[in-house]
Structure 1
Amino acid sequence: MYKQAIVTFASSLLCLSGGLTIGISAVLLPKLEEDEEFYWTKEYGSWIASIAPISSIFSCLCIGSLLDRFGRKSAHIMLSFPFIIGWLCMAFANDFYVMMVGRFFTGFSFGAVRSTSIIYLGEISDPKYRGIILLCPTLAMNFGVLLSHVIGYLTNWRTALLICIFPNVIQLVLIFFLKESPYWLISKGRVNEAIECFRWFRGMGARSENELHLIIEKQKSKGAGLTIRELLKIVFSGSFGRPIVTLFFVFLAMQFSGINVFPFYANDLVVTMFDEKIDTFLVMMIIDLIRVGVCVLICLIGKVMHRRASFLYCTYATVILLFLLVVVRFYEKAVPYKWIPLSLVLFYNGVASVVVSIGWSFIAELFPNNVRGLGSGLAGAISYCLLSSSVKVTPDLLARGEPAMYGTFAIVTLISSVILYSLLPETHGKTLQAIEDSYNNKDRTTTL
């Protein structure tokens, strides 16, 4: 188990860098505006905030082939370098265009880190602990957002950007000492190496050996590689198509719940929602701590938590809280206590954080082994297309009034969660092979 913990820590550092990427804009933009040596216009802010999710789409389209061709471990190494280049470009930028180049590089890696980390961790982890391990990248992402706000507030913006490099350096050192995913090695026909790696991660218990034997037997029937015809057959099969459709609605519920928009415009949203005199940094810290705390909590109970039920219950709770915010903000003058909207926002952030944490964990579990990289990359691209859309439309929705923004988020989340009730399978405690078989209707005990 301790080896799986070390791998989880190393891989999660990549996601921590992703959290730094999405969180840094909330404190970077106000400081750039105040910096007299940095030329600034209001239009620059939305571009710097939104370029990261836009560039993320490109990496999502590339990461599938990288994961399937070069392996999960190699993909971790490849993604570290754009982060480092991006942070350096931004730290030494003297104009908007160099800043945008750096932001593009960090955004490029940001788009692929979560699927890369979750795929790797999903394949090396014991089903007994997989529920906990797959939540750690999201915990690291939320901690990265918190850390970015702290260092951005306490230091000069150039110093803050240089500090952001360190997680990538530590991750690069650690990852060189770790082993490749046995699932990927088996898919490439490197069976002996895969057996060694599998036992290094999981030991030689009876249950682990049975799982290893089943994986090898399944792969023998598939072959070591895929022809174009075989690949197309899988892509257009139910075992690939249903996960893509399912994850589309999972990500639609996640990204249009509004929770992931907050880090991009945290300062502006807090001021708009409450009062210009409120301590916006304090509110940001409270919300960041809530999100991190929620992730820690669900990691602690992840071993026994049924993820499908938990995800759906939390989407319904998010919808209820969003509609309550619509009512409270619409009848603002009739609300006797000003702490009521603040409390609703804090509860909303906590519940919606569960939706995001659990939602991303499904990406490692639903796709067939042979095309898991391709599927995760495509699903990630869909997610960040939806995130880019939500980031771009939020200022316009907010300009129409907070009830319009909350109402739109609530309606989209509600529609998605109703559809997911019939699409989303329970994956708790099941092996990856059992989940794959459920989509092929080979194992009726694992169907929806």
Structure 2
Amino acid sequence: MLLLVNNVAGLIVARFIQGVAMGMLGPLGSIIIGEMTDPKNRGMFLTSVSLSLTIGVLFSHALGTYFTWQQSALICSFTTFTSLCLMIFTPESPSWLITKGRYEEARTVFFWLRGNSEEQQVELEKMIIAQKMSRKSSVADQKLSIQARLKRYFKYISEAGKKPEFFKPVIIMVFLYTMFQFAGINVISSYAIDIIGHVVGPEANAKFLMVVLDIERLICNLLAVYLMKTLKRRTLLFSSTFICIISYLGKAFYVYAKQKDILPYDSQWIPISLIGLYMFSLTVGISSIPFAVSGELFPLEYRGLGGGVSYLALSLNFFVAVKCFPMLTTAVGLSITYLLYTGMVVFCMTIVWFMLPETKDKTLQEIEDSFRGFSPEDAKSAEPLNGVNGGGEMMRRCSSHILY
């Protein structure tokens, strides 16, 4: 559609349709990766979400240097079409199959993806048992009328908002995505040339430095894949956020001192180094962790709803952070704008510090149980025994309050 429009209204409609598609597809990547991968390697695979975004930004900026925006749109459409063709041959995730009661198919896909070790078998059986208990009340929904289903769905949303395994991950993701956007990853992507011109100076080669920043972002994203495997999620997130705050403050004070002509020494390498440090902190942790934990925090029962709500927060903060930046720089100046954005990052980081659990090397079921308040001993008491009952179902221990 972008290729055919020749006016502003058509361009807005085309972008609106793209936005709707992004809203529908956005949460799925992290959710599917989280459901399909082993806990030991899940962080690395989830980091590929931010890595793919980085590659897309670099690719788009490179295309924009040599082609018109219509030609760039045509080239990008081929990339999207190729991804669609590949997804057709991708199996449904085991977790989704379990929610539909297709247990044998879920076992086949799960063992094809993860192998058939004893550890994997135990994890799968835990998911099946937990889902069987939650499906008892939902099987009857298939016989209800459309009006009754809608009424029951709104009741489902209302009840979900009261459950800690739903509202706690939602709160965490809302503040994580807010911190992610006000840290400025999309701001610097949208206004890179203007920011470089203001911070480094009008004599700087802004287009060249923009491409250099994109390359740095790609390298740091590759580094983030390794760090996600070796470091804890909280360690990586809060250390990178601290570096981001320092670089934000450094840029704010540098711009202020330069405007007031009170710098004892000045060189282009000072602002370039600050921007480089800033991009490093954004890419290594702040832009990687939210997409990683978004595929880990939500329980299976509310994964779609939770992902949709949190992605709505991401989109709203995207809009506010990007649209407010030029207005604030015009109204109060770049240095004050940086300080305001720094304040938002500090506020969100404080909330996340107290709420975000460590998820590295934990199964999705263990993370879900932790939000429900179940201890490892409670979860252990619900593990299947080595046998089946007369109805062909797995036997379970009966000493836990989670069996009902």
Report TM bin, short chain.
Answer: 0.7 to 0.9
Does the alignment pair 1:351 with 2:281? yes
Does the alignment pair 1:199 with 2:199? no
Shift of 1:412: 0.8
2:386 corresponds to: none
1:249 corresponds to: 175
1:268 corresponds to: 194
SS of residue in 2 equivalent to 1:261: helix
Runs of 4+, deviation exceeding 6 Å: none
1:62 corresponds to: none
1:420 corresponds to: 352
Question: Which of 234, 237, 254 matches 1:308?
Answer: 234
2:94 corresponds to: 182
Question: Which of 154, 177, 180 matches 2:66?
Answer: 154
1:279 corresponds to: 205
Q: What does 1:396-407 align with in structure 2 at a 5 Å threshold? A: 396-399=327-330, 400-407=332-339
Question: Which of 330, 342, 360 matches 2:272?
Answer: 342
CA displacement 1:375-411 (0-9 Å, x = unmatched): 0000000111111111111011221211111101111
Shift of 1:264: 1.9
Identify if the C-alpha distance between structure 1 residues 231 and 188 changes in structure 2 by more than 3 Å, giving closer, same or farther: farther
Question: Which of 22, 32, 53 matches 1:120?
Answer: 32
Shift of 1:223: 1.2
TM-score, normalising length from structure 1? Answer: 0.77
Letter in 2 for 1:363: S
2:396 corresponds to: none
Aligned mates of 1:414, 1:381 — CA distance in 2: 22
Report which of the two structures shows the higher radius of gyration computed on alpha carbons: 2
Letter in 1 for 2:270: I
1:59 corresponds to: none
Question: Which of 49, 52, 57 matches 1:145?
Answer: 57
Contact kept in structure 1, 2:49 and 2:291, CA below 8 Å = no
Aligned mates of 2:12, 2:269 — CA distance in 1: 38
Aligned mates of 1:233, 1:297 — CA distance in 2: 41
Shift of 1:326: 1.2
Contact kept in structure 1, 2:97 and 2:103, CA below 8 Å = yes
Letter in 2 for 1:368: P
1:430 corresponds to: 362
Question: Which of 392, 395, 404 matches 2:323?
Answer: 392
Contact kept in structure 1, 2:199 and 2:251, CA below 8 Å = no
2:340 corresponds to: 408
Aligned mates of 1:225, 1:277 — CA distance in 2: 67
Aligned mates of 1:273, 1:396 — CA distance in 2: 17
Shift of 1:369: 0.2
CA displacement 1:131-187 (0-9 Å, x = unmatched): 100000110001100000001111122211100101211112111111001101101
Aligned mates of 2:322, 2:266 — CA distance in 1: 32
SS of residue in 1 equivalent to 2:294: helix
Shift of 1:323: 0.9
Aligned mates of 2:220, 2:131 — CA distance in 1: 38
Shift of 1:224: 6.0
CA RMSD of aligned residues (A): 1.8
Aligned mates of 1:176, 1:224 — CA distance in 2: 31
SS of residue in 2 equivalent to 1:165: helix
Percent sequence identity over aligned pairs: 30
Aligned mates of 2:161, 2:112 — CA distance in 1: 32
Shift of 1:225: 6.3
Q: What does 1:54-73 align with in structure 2 at a 5 Å threshold? A: none
Does the alignment pair 1:292 with 2:218? yes
Instruction: For structure 2, list consecutive stretches of 5 or more residues without a partner in the other structure.
Output: 142-151, 379-404
Larger helix proportion, structure 1 or 2?
A: 1
Contact kept in structure 2, 1:187 and 1:224, CA below 8 Å = no
Does the alignment pair 1:318 with 2:237? no
Shift of 1:106: 1.9
Shift of 1:443: 2.0
